[in-house]
Amino acid sequence: MTSALLDRALVEEATKKSGLIWVRGAGAPAARALWHVWHEGAACLVGDGSEEQPLPGLADGSEAEVTVRSKDKGGRLVSWTAKVVQLAPGSEAWEAAVAELKGKRLNAPDGEAMTERWARECRVLRLEPTGGTLPLPDGSLAEAPMPTSATTRREIPAGLVRLLMKKRKRG
């Protein structure tokens, strides 16, 4: 009993303090970093709209695995399983979750009207802890970045090293 209470406290405190959680839904190939708020005993998320984060594999009633990172160092603190609950737009639970989420949403393109857009286009989910913590994996879970034309990886120009060393000697 004491262990269960400590696990619950660890999950809550770590998730409250972390700006991102890594969530892997049922059937999703990998975990995704998602912004969230902790509200009334669960992590609340908004997504799947054109302007919001994707929520792949997170369906109402399914399970998800949540990994919480340290806000200071970025390393894994705790992993836990969650039941996914989709909140109905306009319901009391939806309104309460959205009130918390809108305070954390950065750079919303439509400002105060975002809650109306969320009701029309998005899903608001609660990830409710279902039990204790999961063992942390031994190895790295890092994956190669997805290919994109935006990344450029080229050799450093030969003259750059000499130029930087000159500036250090002068200073």
pLDDT, greater one: 81 or 149: 81
Q: What is the CATH number of domain 2-141?
A: 2.30.110.10
Instruction: Please tell me the distance from the alpha carbon of residue 27 to that of residue 85, in angstroms, as a whole number.
Output: 17
Chain segment 3-33, per-residue pLDDT in tens? 888 889 999 999 999 889 999 998 888 888 9
pTM of this structure: 0.78
3-state secondary structure of 21: strand
3-state secondary structure of 39: strand
Q: How is residue 6 written in tokens?
A: 């400590």
Tokens of 150: 């935006």
Mean pLDDT within 77-91: 95
- pLDDT band at 167; cut points 50, 70, 90: low
24 near 64, Cβ under 8 Å? Answer: yes
CA distances from 67 to 40, 60, 74, 106, 111 (A): 19, 19, 11, 22, 30
Give yes or no for a contact between 115 and 69, defined as CB atoms under 8 angstroms apart.
no
Q: What are phi and psi of 7, to 5 degrees?
A: -60, -45
Residue-range domain boundaries for the chain? 2-141
